[in-house]
Amino acid sequence: MKRHPLLCLVLALLSPHAPAAVHTVSAGQSILAAVKQSAPGDTVRVMPGTYVETVYIDRDNITLQGVMVGGERPVLDGRNTLKDGILVAGDGVTVEHFLIRNYTANGLNLQGVNNFVVRHNIVQDTGIYAINPELSRNGLVAYNRISGVWDAAIYCGECMDVDILYNEAFGSVMGIESQTSQNVLIEGNYVHDNATGIAAFLIPGVSRKTTGNTVIRNNFVVHNNRANFAPPDSMPGLVPEGVGIAIAGYDEVTLEGNQINGNQSAGILLVDQATAFGSNFALDPAQDPTVNSARIYSNMLFGNGGEPLGLVAAYLADSGLPRGPDILDADPTSAGNCIYSKEAWFAVGVDHWSLCAQPTATAVASMRLAAPIAPRTWSDDQLGRNTWVAVCSACHNENGYLIGPPVARIQQDFVGAPEALAAWIAAPTRMNADFPPMPPQDYLPEKTRLAVARHVLGLQPKAAANTPPTAGSNVDESGN
């Protein structure tokens, strides 16, 4: 069927969103420049090559996609001088198929983000964290290979509703850390040769105060015996060495189906916050420092504890035990914890634990939400009214004269012409000598400007209560 070109134009104009565009970046070009050119819904495809830059994504629904050609993938390289590889502050962002290396702060940082996907990336030697969603919600971190950072390779900080699946995390102080988070699934990861393999930490001094519902399942957690190479005065400087899975202060962790082998201090370690962090850092009066409601179902624990170090060694010295345990609860005040069997493994400090009831957490398929978190939707009326109040009311008033002209005057000047008013707002020209010129409001999207123009033309002004200000009026600034 042949469409009429005019009809197509009309349909395009009526459509609320422009069609998603694809921007291609080739070696020698800037990824950041392409991101800045993109609109929500767009994809930025990056061809193989080495890109020495920091890319920040501050708009929503952008896909940043590396393209593999002939076995080569695009490389973001900080040359050990740039701080961050990719900083994400937009919702609904996907980052995939990159090699990110040699940054000094973070490889891929997401802060305050909803609905994120990070997958199929290789991240090497990126300073503190490699992939770190923080204060973020509803996301997936999967199929990444990460190594060589002095905190956690994958760090989920004050997160909620996140799946961390099928990654390889090694050669770092921690492989995977869930920090003061809620609803996290850590599954199917290969976590080896870190100081501690997987950590669930309740960290003091942050805005979240509680933790919970975290499932660590079917991971391979082996040979995490690396010397801790974090700065000794930093928080990760306190992370124990030789531990498979460490839980400090964090509640409601379920462990099942993990292979936890060859970790020389202990397979699983549970401690209170004071023992873990109290030597160097203030605890938080609003947090409960003990581990509660941990559930340890069947896991394969073998060959752990052969050569204990650090706080596990100190515990053993006090208790006279011959070697490090598979499972150690170093906090006698922990409560509500349960274990599959107290006799299947060398488990220490679990006398006060109960035996776990069924069911296990196998039925948990994902911690992500069934649908993306939607932005709050404002109708055009709400958008117009709220923008008027939030922005315009600083200078304009329905009742009379404030700084700019009153509503009645605006209505006279733009009667029946909201489009003209919307355009004028973005690039104002002086219309009245009685008033100071208006600053351009071009940061407001066109849709917002039109909505606010319609709103102001539809207001019912009250009688003007005063007269316009004259130039040169005294400014009364008391106390100055």
Partner 1 sequence: MPGRRLGRWALLCCLLAPAAICRELDGAEIRLSEDCPPGYLEREGRCHLVSLYDQYASFTGQGGLRAALPPPARSYTAAQIDLGRYLFFDPLLSRERDMSCANCHRPALGFSDGQARAMGRDPAIPAGEPATGRLLPRNTPGLWNIGFFRLLSWDGKRTDLVAQSLAPVFAADEMNLDAGELARRLRQSAYGALLARAFGKDERYRTLPLVEQAAHALAAFQGSLVSLNSRYDYYVFGANDALSEQELRGLTLFRSFDTRCSECHTPPLFSNQQLATLGVPEPVGKPFDSGAQAVFGREDLRGAFRIPGLRNVALTAPYMHNGVFGQLEDVVKFYADGRGNSASPAEALKIHWHIVHPRLDPQQQGDLVAFLRALTDTSHMPRIPTSLPSGLSISAR
Per CB under 8 A, the list member of 15, 412, 460, 478 interacting with partner 1 is 478
Site for partner 1 in 432-471 (CB under 8 A): 436-440, 442-445, 465-467, 469
Kindly report the number of other CB atoms within 10 A of residue 91's CB atom.
23
* Residue 206 · residue 183 · CB < 8 Å: no
Site for partner 1 in 212-241 (CB under 8 A): 231, 233-235
Q: Applying CB under 8 A, does 393 fall inside the site for partner 1? A: yes
The least distance separating partner 1 from the CB of residue 285, rounded to whole angstroms, comes to 6
- State which residue, 273 or 304, has the beta carbon closest to partner 1: 273
Per CB under 8 A, the list member of 283, 313, 338, 431 interacting with partner 1 is 283
The least distance separating partner 1 from the CB of residue 58, rounded to whole angstroms, comes to 6
The least distance separating partner 1 from the CB of residue 318, rounded to whole angstroms, comes to 23
> Residues 310-349: x/- map of binding to partner 1 (CB under 8 A)?
----------------------------------------
- State which residue, 81 or 412, has the beta carbon closest to partner 1: 81
Q: Applying CB under 8 A, does 285 fall inside the site for partner 1? A: yes
Q: Applying CB under 8 A, does 359 fall inside the site for partner 1? A: no
The least distance separating partner 1 from the CB of residue 139, rounded to whole angstroms, comes to 11
Nearest to 252 by CA among 210, 201, 209, 294: 294
Per CB under 8 A, the list member of 61, 63, 114, 224 interacting with partner 1 is 114
The stretch among 16-24, 275-283, 298-306, 313-321 that binds partner 1 (CB under 8 A) is 275-283
Site for partner 1 in 181-210 (CB under 8 A): 203, 205-208
- State which residue, 306 or 445, has the beta carbon closest to partner 1: 445
